[in-house]
A and B are shown apart, each in its own frame.
Chain A
């Protein structure tokens, strides 16, 4: 069965600092990859997604992620975080041919003004 690992469970940054959240998955075949964000008290929103093509994916609110197939990684980055980025971030994987999404455990990001 596939699994998703998010290495940073709780990250605290000051505003304007750069962000990188790690995500690794274990599945040998083709996958679809996602990053979702959940702001306090709100529902899951899609930040960005990778299906195929350019491995550098740009999403909403200045986020981007890079798919490195050889490392089974899909790390999320943002050059300069804002206080409003405080939220929980989930990496998710769907192997091709499957309907089940596997989520990582989530990373809680706290941005200090």
Chain B
């Protein structure tokens, strides 16, 4: 299995809602990532988990809360989002997040989030 799966594919939420995005991989990878991609822009890194511990937070607002329950799962909890948070949220994983072949990242299809 060389896939990263993400659910849901699409999500529409109001500014007062609480929702979660889910990411899963069964490649035995120990590093997982959340990216945000706005239309016609490159992906921007949000968070990195390495061996189930948060290793990088790119100054993301607290209305985004990541969670890594185990080495295969990565969640992104959303609360009180703003319309400008509407974007494609991508999950990725790599073997262990370090350099060389171990650092190659495999991307999921993304969740298209719309905040009303």
Q: How many residues of A contact B (CB 8 A)?
A: 27
How many B residues touch A, CB cutoff 8 Å?
A: 26
A94 contacts B103, C-beta separation under 8 Å = yes
Which partner residue on chain A sits nearest B42 by CB separation?
Answer: A103
Interface check A30, CB cutoff 8 A: yes
* In the complex with contacts A99-B31, A99-B48, A44-B99 CB distance below 8 A: no
Contact with B along A17-38 (1 / 0, CB 8 A): 0000000000000101010100
Q: Told that A45-B107, A95-B99 touch, could you supply 8 new A-B pairs with CB distance under 8 A?
A: A43-B108, A96-B99, A99-B33, A99-B97, A100-B45, A100-B48, A104-B42, A105-B41
Whether B114 sits at the interface, judged by CB under 8 Å, is: no
- The residue in chain A whose Cβ has the minimal distance to the Cβ of B101 is A51
Taken together as a complex, chains A and B put the C-alpha atoms of A52 and B97 apart, in Å, by: 17
The chain A residue sitting closest to B105, CB to CB, is A101
Given the complex, which residues of A lie within 8 Å of B40, measured CB to CB? 88, 106, 108
Count CB-based A-B contacts (< 8 Å).
59
CB-contact partner of A97 in B45, B58, B98, under 8 A: B98
B45, A101: Cβ atoms closer than 8 Å: yes
Shortest CB–CB separation between residue B112 and chain A, in angstroms? Answer: 10
A32 contacts B103, CB within 8 Å? yes
Across the interface, which residues of B come within 8 angstroms of A44, CB to CB?
43, 90, 107
Roughly how many angstroms separate A16 CA and B31 CA in the complex, as a whole number?
Answer: 40
Contact B105 A96 (CB under 8 A): no
- Which of A43, A88, A98, A105 counts the most B-chain CB atoms under 10 A from its CB? A43
CA distance A22 to B14 in the complex (A): 41
Bound Cα distance from A105 to B42, whole angstroms: 5
A46 at the interface (CB under 8 A from B): yes
Distance of A96 Cα from B101 Cα, bound (Å): 11
